[in-house]
Chain A
């Protein structure tokens, strides 16, 4: 039962353009969502998060959008840079009482930003 899905295994964009990474979830108890970036042979690095009480959160070049009715979130990177090339994971948490703050991850999307 894949509760968090990233349907695009890969995405290629040109430097300077916008990268949009998508994530869908099925568990309506999820109330906190995070994006992580992962380089080969390293652990995931936290990028940005959003609580279910918001529909947008912005941090520099990174913006996360949450559409609760569609159970969909997206990460926008503007402008994209070659150093952004990595695997991006979407993760969700259902809160302590429900799931002990465990994170459920998607399968990841490999982003390649071409110079």
Chain B
């Protein structure tokens, strides 16, 4: 299976702890996105990378959140000093943008379910 993978699938943590999630995109994809989904809502954009460059961050991404894609392949999303409001499904997606300005279809991973107690 060469789809988008995410690890872990589930994470339970106590308030104030730091957590890190990993996303492995489809291998030839140059763009990688992070979204957050809460119950009853659609996914909300957090940030995206083109290769290793982080090109856009949502205002939802507070300074407790940081994302990296160091070699333009896998990405990590870290949440520091977790709060109960961070409990959500964190989704990663990847796409292949062939030219600047082209529309690209995003393919999603299974998500990481975070529960902050």
Contact = CB atoms under 8 A, between A and B. Distances in A.
Interface of A: 4, 31-32, 34, 36, 41-46, 49, 51, 89, 91, 93, 95-97, 99-108
A5 B45 CA distance: 16
Given A100-B48, A100-B55, A106 B111 contact: no
A102 B56 contact: yes
A31 B41 CA distance: 22
Nearest to A6: B42
Contacts of B42: 4, 89, 91, 105-108
22 contacts: A32-B103, A41-B113, A42-B110, A42-B111, A43-B91, A44-B43, A46-B105, A49-B105, A51-B103, A89-B42, A91-B42, A95-B103, A97-B101, A100-B55, A101-B95, A101-B103, A101-B104, A102-B45, A102-B58, A103-B43, A107-B42, A108-B40
Contact of A100 (B4, B56, B113): B56
Nearest to A89: B42
Size category of the B interface is 20 to 34
B45 A43 contact: no
Interface string B26-43: 000001010100001111
A41 B10 CA distance: 10
A43 B108 contact: yes
Contacts of B4: 43
B109 interface: yes
Contacts of B45: 102-104
B24 to A, nearest CB: 13
B97 interface: yes
A101 B58 CA distance: 12
B65 interface: no
B38 to A, nearest CB: 11
B103 A31 contact: yes
B91 A34 contact: no
A91 B6 CA distance: 22
B43 A105 contact: yes
